[in-house]
Structure 1
Amino acid sequence: MAQKELKRELANRHVQLIAIGGTIGTGLFLGSGKAIEKAGPSIIITYLIVGMAIFFVMRALGELLLSKAGYQSFTDIAEDYLGPKAAFITGWTYWFCWIMTAMADVIAVGVYVQYWLDIPQWMPAVLCLIILLGLNLMTVKNFGELEFWFALIKVITILALIGLGIVLLIMGFKTDAGSVTVRNLWEHGGIFPNGVTGFLFSFQMVVFAYVGVELVGVSAAETADPQKNIPSAINKIPLRILFFYVGALIVLLCINPWTQLSPAESPFVRTFTLVGIPVAAGIINFVVLTSAASACNSGMFSTSRILYNLSRKGQAPQKLGELNRNHVPGSSLFVSTLVISGGALLSKLIPGQAFEIVTTISAICFIWVWGVILVCHIRYKRKRRDLHNASTFKAPLTPFINYAVLALFAAILIIMLIAEETRPALLCTPLWFILLLVLYSLRTRKIKETTDTSSVTHS
């Protein structure tokens, strides 16, 4: 008979690299090209603003997770501080967030493979999903090891890029696009070449670039020493943002004038091609391919754990709450993978628009989830002052910073409504929340009818 509990097999090195893997993915390696097209060099400021906001969200999540030993994810937190309806909506929305994100990642896998092979995007996407499903069905330690090595490849790549950029700057190297110089940051139309509008319209893709950072919270139930590992991983987020995002983008834009980058390809691959190292460009394409696979792997992990937790709470079919002999929620993995495969279908039906659509929906739903975390922290601080005072990992600048970040998120949603590219996805997303409210209402009614029938029978 399958064990009832998830195993705590993720060591500190796994948690640290899951945190890095969560903050370096398709949004940076592929999506940054689209964001740079909109904002030019001001994209660096966008990454800084959103990155700092996400750090405060994570500090709030960290304090909440460590305030009660029984918490396995932030859906548990939402139930305690916002009630069962909010927990139901947040849990299913977080599952949907990662479904959309994983779809974007499998679409990206298809794009990267086309660098070498002229085949339809959906073929490598399906193959990627089959391989990752097999690996995830084994043990959670396999997931940790896979993410450890995937993340290590990403880290080494960005270190190599930054190192190369510094050497080229010192040498005064010249490419086909011109000299490698910091002046490229402002000499091609200034820091804001497309004005404030272009800068604001870049926020959607940058929000998507940060999705996954809260995966540290999802993995809490399978972390060997959460009191030590979770604070350690969260506190390193600002450094990672400055180095892996801001540092990498500054180097990219010094080597390439922003006008030379195409939104249809990875700026990382383009950089090595422009420098005249085609072999290295192929290697970098392989790296960004593994990055997309890594992000998809994270999506499969998180969606299966979310379904597992929803099932254990009676908010999803009972079958999804079962663990296989390796202590992995196999049924949840199969269901999530099947839905994620819709990304491969989208890449076949609308190859030019699929990535933009799923990243927009993902960003909107993640803003909801991050917002719920902040609201829960505000209520926690009001209702459980005793826990806050006893906390060894207090979130800084609260509650003021919570309200400031919520205001930023609201502003980003307004920007998405104004922008033509993101407006259709934003207007369609409320249908998901309406569906969840209907499902919750039906579920509540069914439970009430069952309880009433049981009461009549016993009397």
Structure 2
Amino acid sequence: MTQAVDQHDNGSEALTADGTTSGEGYTRALGARQIQMIAIGGAIGTGLFLGAGKAIDRAGPSLILAYAIAGLVIFFIMRALGELLMYRPVSGSFSEYAREFVGPFFGFVTGWTYWLFWVVTGITEVTAAATYMTYWWDIPQWISALAFTVVLYGANLISVKLFGELEFWFSMVKVTAIVGMILICLGILTLGFSDAGDTATVANLWNDGGFFPEGIGGTLMTLQIVMFAFLAVELVGVTAGEAKEPKKVLPKAINTVPWRIAVFYVGALIMILSVVPWSTFEPGVSPFVAAFEEMGLGIGAAIVNFVVLTAALSSCNSGMYSTGRMLRDLALNGQGPKFFTKLTRNGLPLVGTTFSASLMLVGVWINYQWPGDAFNYVVSFATISGMWAWIMILVSQLRYRAKADRGELPQSEFRAPGAPYTSWFALGFIALVIVMMGIDEEARISLYAAPFWAAALGVAYLVIKGRNPDTFARKEAVAPRD
């Protein structure tokens, strides 16, 4: 353990002779197959399966355009992250890069904020999963939420290899289901079978009030939901410390972003909104389940409901994985309690995962108190905290690129195309999303909470720095700010 801490403090990512252990003490057990599916499945979750229902109600078919533009921005963000990962692949990922290129305080804020993001996302996903259970059984949401939280916590205590294998099959289920749904919708459009066969037409994309039935303003108001759907694509960066051959598998995973967005978001929405008119869908109901019910394919709706349940549990599982790693990275850098550095014999951050899972039980209480509004309450918190990680990725990449171009640091093997202009464009788009969140009454609550979180982190940083001045001084000396 001491060796792992020392190596991490020196900023290295050394491997043992057999190449299976990272310099952070983790076991490199995630292969290319698992990393690819984690990258693909990370962006397919509650935001698409459940949140899209509310977004369709607000924007109609123009939601397709919102997903396409936001997807382009996500690709710019991921290529910026890829450039940093090839410079130095570590499990601390964007927290480490913020610490190095923006300053120790921003690394501290990024690490704790991303940890909060996954705790809140875990609450969101377990809330969605509990909602899906009501499709079959009329049981209180909080009971399902409690059961799912306990089971997923137990799954995260076995091994990272098992985590990767579970995520592989979870993602495979999601991918197979969406591709199958696209093919079924395509069959209905061309062959006209099912109850929706007589009315299914691509013209549904503009016949019912036009492509922008709620105006451009309605489309802009969905940006928060759209960006929430893409949160977790950056999770592939957190796996860097436990990936086999990270400099080989991570670029391949990142380069899948354009086609998976084109197929799973844009393609899927084009299909279901062509088969079923957009005005049919309701907020809070999965549009995928609703579409199959409108088609008269009852068994199909049940299958899709099972798939979206799997997707929610998969995302919550990823949340438990990432929170433990982020807490350990903070602790290794003197920015969190030292007991979070402890690993099990299998290389798992038990204490950090346990602490995070216990906080996710707040989701059980939310589902008990406000079962109807639980999803809406937590989405906005997750969105603003997740977007902070994206902002730090882009700012860190801009500063890294400037230093590399001046010859102060080695050039990355995976340079972001179009940078720095694409990175600035992505930052501007995120700023637009934050402005729209301020206009949206439901999303505004997260902007109210953000200053309190920032103030709490500021006070905590000053206290920790006062107690460990040498730690922060050493970090600043190793990675001086511009």
1:205-238 Cα distance to aligned partner (Å, 9 max, x none) = 1111001000110000000011110000001100
How far off is 1:345 after superposition? 1.1
Partner of 1:409: 430
Partner of 1:382: 402
- Structure 1 contact 19–213 (Cα < 8 Å) conserved: yes
- Structure 1 contact 177–260 (Cα < 8 Å) conserved: no
1:251-292 Cα distance to aligned partner (Å, 9 max, x none) = 110111010011121111111111111112111111110110
Q: 2:378 aligns with which of 358, 380, 384?
A: 358
Q: 1: CA distance between counterparts of 2:72 and 2:219?
A: 17
Partner of 1:132: 152
Within 5 Å, which residues of 2 pair with 1:88-103?
A: 88-103=108-123
Q: 1:422 aligns with which of 429, 437, 443?
A: 443
Q: 2: CA distance between counterparts of 1:230 and 1:161?
A: 29
Unaligned stretches of 5+ residues in structure 2: 5-24, 473-482
Which has the higher mean CA deviation after the structures are superposed, 376-385 or 229-238? 376-385
Residue type at the aligned position of 1:353? D
Partner of 1:299: 319
Within 5 Å, which residues of 2 pair with 1:59-138?
A: 59-68=79-88, 72-138=92-158
| 1:41 corresponds to 2:47 | no
RMSD across aligned C-alpha pairs, in angstroms? 1.8
How far off is 1:364 after superposition? 0.9
Shift of the 177–189 alpha-carbon distance from structure 1 to 2, 3 Å rule, reads farther
Shift of the 178–259 alpha-carbon distance from structure 1 to 2, 3 Å rule, reads farther
Q: 2: CA distance between counterparts of 1:232 and 1:449?
A: 39
- Structure 1 contact 104–343 (Cα < 8 Å) conserved: yes
Residue type at the aligned position of 2:267? G
Shift of the 302–80 alpha-carbon distance from structure 1 to 2, 3 Å rule, reads same
Shift of the 328–31 alpha-carbon distance from structure 1 to 2, 3 Å rule, reads same
How far off is 1:129 after superposition? 1.2
Q: 1:399 aligns with which of 420, 426, 429?
A: 420
- Percentage of identical aligned residues: 44
Partner of 2:255: 235
Q: 1: CA distance between counterparts of 2:333 and 2:467?
A: 15
Partner of 1:457: none
1:358-387 Cα distance to aligned partner (Å, 9 max, x none) = 111111111211011111111111122237
Shift of the 442–94 alpha-carbon distance from structure 1 to 2, 3 Å rule, reads same
Which has the higher mean CA deviation after the structures are superposed, 208-217 or 129-138? 129-138
Q: 1:371 aligns with which of 381, 384, 391?
A: 391
Within 5 Å, which residues of 2 pair with 1:243-282?
A: 243-282=263-302
Partner of 2:188: 168
How far off is 1:52 after superposition? 0.8
Q: 2: CA distance between counterparts of 1:148 and 1:375?
A: 31
Residue type at the aligned position of 2:187? V
How far off is 1:355 after superposition? 0.9
Which has the higher mean CA deviation after the structures are superposed, 427-436 or 198-207? 427-436
How far off is 1:428 after superposition? 1.8
The TM-score with structure 1 as length reference comes to: 0.95
Which has the higher mean CA deviation after the structures are superposed, 61-70 or 152-161? 61-70
Residue type at the aligned position of 1:136? N
Q: 1: CA distance between counterparts of 2:88 and 2:394?
A: 17
Q: Secondary structure at the match of 2:158?
A: coil
Q: 2: CA distance between counterparts of 1:448 and 1:2?
A: 20
How far off is 1:172 after superposition? 3.0
Q: 1: CA distance between counterparts of 2:84 and 2:445?
A: 35
Of Structure 1 and Structure 2, which has the larger fraction of its residues in helix? 1
Q: 1: CA distance between counterparts of 2:382 and 2:181?
A: 28
How far off is 1:425 after superposition? 2.3
How far off is 1:340 after superposition? 1.1
Unaligned stretches of 5+ residues in structure 1: 452-459
Residue type at the aligned position of 2:206? W
